[in-house]
């Protein structure tokens, strides 16, 4: 019998496994569906190179999901990917490591009512504990000895410098530290989780140093089919491993499989909308709004012609922050012969839904982003496209994307035609107090209505985040690891 069984060896799962197993008296088992193991010699070279996105069609370390992006009269189909590997999406992403803002945590706290458990002051120690900021580590709001190295490129490529110069010429202020305590608007260099040009994930930074602990068991290529309950207490998981079915038992189970897989596992196990579950012949354990709400960042791409990059670098060196808009000059080419300026709406009013298509674990869920269904979102993106177009003009760049029409009706069609996603899905198992009909978990990530079960990943986020989620996924695991230790998930606060 394991004390704590963690489902998912992604960004959050690696942090939790390392922090909880720091107590030698507490046994921890970490399960990961991906088949690439974790060894001291490291990951495949493609995963270590921070200058590329290893998400090609032949990549074996990805979950792939079909999605519907918009449904306000024009359905836009797409695909999203997630890391199916130790370290999760942090092992395949652009190394962007920007914190959520104080305003985000103020909104998070309002969802929780009188609780201050997720105020900015409450979470700042976990942010600091996670990082080794190589530029601002001497500042009181930063960490200087955490597992994740954080740095900003000191010598950006000319394309990035041209973007920053154009923003300054248009009057946008410079923000030296995007991870500062205020999270001010302006153009700034992107904090990245890299070390000597290599991508750093929580697998290499947290889990690898802990592998030798005798109380920690790490198991790859293990698919979790469903949770086992005794009444309304979670007691184990059914898994498929090494070509056979098995059941693993534990005193406490933590789901850290990501916002999509954690939600679908709850649904397959009987926690969700009772009517939908019965339609799929899934016995209901507890009614809950799993998947009834999620958020993501819709993104419009403007293609333009630029000269070839002089050298490889991280996908984003600078961004322009404008309240709920983030403008991103990507250094990687998504279209041959073109560069892209991404325009992302970071606090959309539109919300998506996730539901099961089948009780079969091999069948992907239905994921509907429902982007642009709110006029507010369409208006904000129209304005942001105008700003981005001004930046391109100041850069003397040659646009390749057709200009956006000025009339709202035709502009909406243009937005649909150029619509994409930042792939930052969160909130499928929203956090909230007892009695909140939208909430799936409490402020400690414990699933309402059942015992012995916690969700500890981006699924719990109850509000849109104003920044990309990787740093906050680490924060969630750090913060909830403290709660799990206090409640019996471990008996020490030893650091790595």
| Crossing angle for the helix pair 375-394 and 158-169, to the nearest 10 degrees | 110
* Sheet strands (E) in 346-477: 353-355, 366-371, 398-399, 419-421, 453-455
The 10 Å Cβ neighbour count of residue 229 is 20
Nearest-angstrom CA–CA distance, 409 and 28: 55
Tokens of 380: 């904000």
Nearest-angstrom CA–CA distance, 61 and 52: 15
Name the DSSP class of 299: E
Give φ, ψ of 173 to 5 degrees: -70, 160
Give φ, ψ of 120 to 5 degrees: -60, -40
Nearest-angstrom CA–CA distance, 266 and 445: 13
Indicate if the alpha-carbon torsion angle 377, 383, 389, 392 is positive or negative.
Answer: negative
Residues 316 and 94: beta-carbon distance below 8 Å: yes
The residue from 162, 297, 416, 424 that is catalytic is 424
Cα of first residue to Cα of last residue in the chain, in angstroms, is 25
Tokens of 438: 């939208």
**What is the distance of C-alpha 355 from the center of its chain?**
19
In this structure, the dihedral spanned by the alpha carbons of residues 259, 194, 223 and 210, taken in order and rounded to 10 degrees, is -110
Nearest-angstrom CA–CA distance, 476 and 496: 17
Nearest-angstrom CA–CA distance, 136 and 178: 11
Instruction: Say which residues have a Cβ less than 8 Å from residue 330's Cβ, sequence separation at least 6.
Output: 315, 316, 339, 340, 341, 342
In order of 179, 261, 441, the CA distances from 96 in angstroms are 11, 22, 28
Question: Does 424 participate in catalysis according to the annotation?
Answer: yes
Residues 365 and 264: beta-carbon distance below 8 Å: yes
Residue with tokens 């580590």: 137
H/E segment holding residue 380: helix 375-394
In this structure, the dihedral spanned by the alpha carbons of residues 374, 376, 379 and 382, taken in order and rounded to 10 degrees, is -70
Which of the residues are catalytic? 424
């Amino acid at each position: 019998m394991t004390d704590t069984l963690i489902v998912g060896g992604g960004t959050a799962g690696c942090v939790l496994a390392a922090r909880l197993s720091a107590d030698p008296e507490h046994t921890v088992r970490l399960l990961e569906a991906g088949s690439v193991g974790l060894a001291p010699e490291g990951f495949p070279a493609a995963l270590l190179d921070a200058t590329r996105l290893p998400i090609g069609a032949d990549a074996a370390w990805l979950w792939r999901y079909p999605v519907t992006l918009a449904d306000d009269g024009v359905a836009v189909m797409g695909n999203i990917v997630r890391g199916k590997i130790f370290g999760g999406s942090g092992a395949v992403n652009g190394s962007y490591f920007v914190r959520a803002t104080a305003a985000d945590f103020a909104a998070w706290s309002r969802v929780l009512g009188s609780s201050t458990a997720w105020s900015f002051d409450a979470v700042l120690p976990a942010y600091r504990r996670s990082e080794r900021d190589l530029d601002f580590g001497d500042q009181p709001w930063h960490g200087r000895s955490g597992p994740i190295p954080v740095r900003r490129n000191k010598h950006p490529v000319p394309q990035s410098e041209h973007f920053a110069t154009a923003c300054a010429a248009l009057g946008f202020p410079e923000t030296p530290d995007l991870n500062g305590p205020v999270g001010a608007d302006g153009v700034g260099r992107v904090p990245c989780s890299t070390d000597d040009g290599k991508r750093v994930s929580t697998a290499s930074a947290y889990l690898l140093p802990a592998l030798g602990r005798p109380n920690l068991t790490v198991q790859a290529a293990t698919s979790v089919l469903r949770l086992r309950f005794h009444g309304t207490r979670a007691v184990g998981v059914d898994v498929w491993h090494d070509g056979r079915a098995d059941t693993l038992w534990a005193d406490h189970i933590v789901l850290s499989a990501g916002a999509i897989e954690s939600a679908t596992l709850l649904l397959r196990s009987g926690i969700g909308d009772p009517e939908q579950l019965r339609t799929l012949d899934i016995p209901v354990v507890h009614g809950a709004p799993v998947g009834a709400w999620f958020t993501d960042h819709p993104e419009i791409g403007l293609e333009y012609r630029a000269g070839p990059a002089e050298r490889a670098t991280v996908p984003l060196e600078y961004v322009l922050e404008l309240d709920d808009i983030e403008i991103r000059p990507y250094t990687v080419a998504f279209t041959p012969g073109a560069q892209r300026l991404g325009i992302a709406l970071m606090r959309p009013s539109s919300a998506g839904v996730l539901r099961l298509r089948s009780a079969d674990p091999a069948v992907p869920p239905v994921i509907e982003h429902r982007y642009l269904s709110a006029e507010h979102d369409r208006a904000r993106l129209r304005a942001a496209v105008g700003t981005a177009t001004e930046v391109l003009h100041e850069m003397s760049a040659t646009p390749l994307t057709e200009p956006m029409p000025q009339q709202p009706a035709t502009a909406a069609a243009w937005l649909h035609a150029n619509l994409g996603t930042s792939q930052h899905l969160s909130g499928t198992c929203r956090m909230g107090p007892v009695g909140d009909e939208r909430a799936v978990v409490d402020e400690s990530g414990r699933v309402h209505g059942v015992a012995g079960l916690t969700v500890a990943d981006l699924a719990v986020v109850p509000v849109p985040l104003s920044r990309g989620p990787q740093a906050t996924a680490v924060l969630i695991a750090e913060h909830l690891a403290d709660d799990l230790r206090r409640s019996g998930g471990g008996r020490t606060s030893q650091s790595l």
